[in-house]
Chain A
Amino acid sequence: MSDQSSQSENFEQLLRSTTGELIEKIEQGELIDAVNLLQQINDARNKNLYIEVGRLTRALHDAIRDFHLDTSAAVGNQEEFSDISDAADRLNYVIKMTQDAANTTMDKVDECIPVAEKLGQEASDLRSEWARLKRREMSPEEFRDLYKRMDLFLESTEQQAEQLSSNFSEITLAQGYQDLTGQVVKKVIVLVHEVEDSLVELVRMASQVDKITGIRHENTEQQTEVVDATPAPEGPAINAEKRGIDVVSGQDEVDDLLSSLGF
């Protein structure tokens, strides 16, 4: 780095020191010397330019290597997968894991609902029978019937409670996706940071070439087109509280906004 900045500093120094001399020579009418000086500046500039372009090429090569881009198509090696396509695979895996977990959880809940309903229904039926017994409104035959039903109810309650708790532990187990997907997402975050660092480095290298060749880039940040007024969907807002006023942070704010519009 220091080597590189000293290169362009050297060129700037040379430019500064020689310019004074150049004006002097021109004023004194020593045109041959002046042309020689110009030639010197030009040589130095070219030399620096070659060095910087060489550096940029090198950096581009390194960046591509650091991006772990899939150059196999260009190089003819089809066997290796790039980290980027690997990251896409990993994220697809996250989608699959979360979907499977959601489905398992909902399957188990669906199984539990009728069990709980049946338990409640039976208990409420038995309770009204029991109340009749307490009020001594029950015939001996009815009591024998209740006696048997009570036995069956206790037995099935035991079984159903077992089924419920087994479903509950399966629901808990299904949450294991959080650990696995968390690890995968962390790896992808690391890759994204690496790619960002490489890109920043590349931009820095390119700016050296711009400086020496005197290229000025027009501001390419174009104004947002207003042609299509439909706001593009962007998915869940991350850090909604920190984003301030453009994003609502919950249903209450949606309701406030809509009621201010006459809803």
Chain B
Amino acid sequence: MNKDMKILIVDDFATMRRIVKNLLRDLGFNNTHEADDGLTAIPMLNTGNFDFVVTDWNMPGMTGFDLLKHIRADPELKDLPVLMVTAESKREQIVAAAQAGVNGYIVKPFTAAVLKEKIEKIFERIEK
């Protein structure tokens, strides 16, 4: 796993973006960028050459679920790994995210250890 990979954090709450950013920094990922919903994330993804997306689900403008579907439908972005970090904990939502092609799903509140484990798992599987 490349610690210099470029990561986009998408969450409408600045506090949560900061928490995720700090946790990623503690895990050695310093190349992080932020967007406050799907609509601001898409232009960044189109031009930014990102390696990984960490997104919330419930956001105004465009939800993380719609962002995930957009990424999977875009030929340029379709292989981009997406980790969902969200308070949405209904089973049907988790199943829907899995069917839409999410790479990992973390429910808030979460710990640094869970974030680390999921990121490692995602890249283990990709690099296989």
Instruction: For A99, list chain B residues within 8 Å (CB).
Output: 13-15
Docked Cα-Cα span, A230 to B97, in Å, equals: 10
| Stretch touching chain A among B1-9, B44-52, B82-90 | B82-90
Minimum CB–CB distance from A97 to chain B (whole Å) comes to: 12
B89 touches A240 (CB 8 A): yes
Q: Which of B14, B63, B98, B108 contacts A233 (CB 8 A)?
A: B63
Within 8 A of A (CB), among B98-114: 98, 105-108, 110, 114
Instruction: For A236, list chain B residues within 8 Å (CB).
Output: 87, 89, 108
Q: Does A221 contact B (CB under 8 A)?
A: no
Chain A residue at minimal CB-CB distance from B16: A102
Within 8 A of B (CB), among A242-263: 245-251, 254, 257-258, 261, 263
B94 touches A257 (CB 8 A): yes
Chain B residue at minimal CB-CB distance from A102: B15
Q: Which of B13, B18, B94, B108 contacts A248 (CB 8 A)?
A: B94
Q: Does A231 contact B (CB under 8 A)?
A: yes
Chain B residue at minimal CB-CB distance from A240: B89
Docked Cα-Cα span, A17 to B109, in Å, equals: 67
Between-chain CB contacts (< 8 Å), 25 pairs: A98-B15, A99-B14, A102-B15, A102-B19, A103-B18, A106-B19, A106-B22, A109-B22, A229-B96, A231-B90, A231-B93, A233-B57, A233-B63, A233-B93, A234-B58, A235-B58, A237-B90, A246-B90, A246-B92, A247-B91, A248-B91, A249-B89, A251-B106, A254-B105, A254-B107
List the interface of chain B (C-beta within 8 A of A).
13-15, 18-19, 22, 57-58, 63, 65, 86-96, 98, 105-108, 110, 114
Given contacts A234-B88, A237-B90, A263-B98, 20 further A-B pairs with CB under 8 A are A98-B15, A102-B15, A102-B18, A102-B19, A106-B19, A230-B65, A231-B96, A233-B88, A234-B58, A235-B87, A235-B88, A236-B89, A236-B108, A246-B90, A246-B92, A248-B90, A248-B91, A254-B105, A258-B94, A261-B98
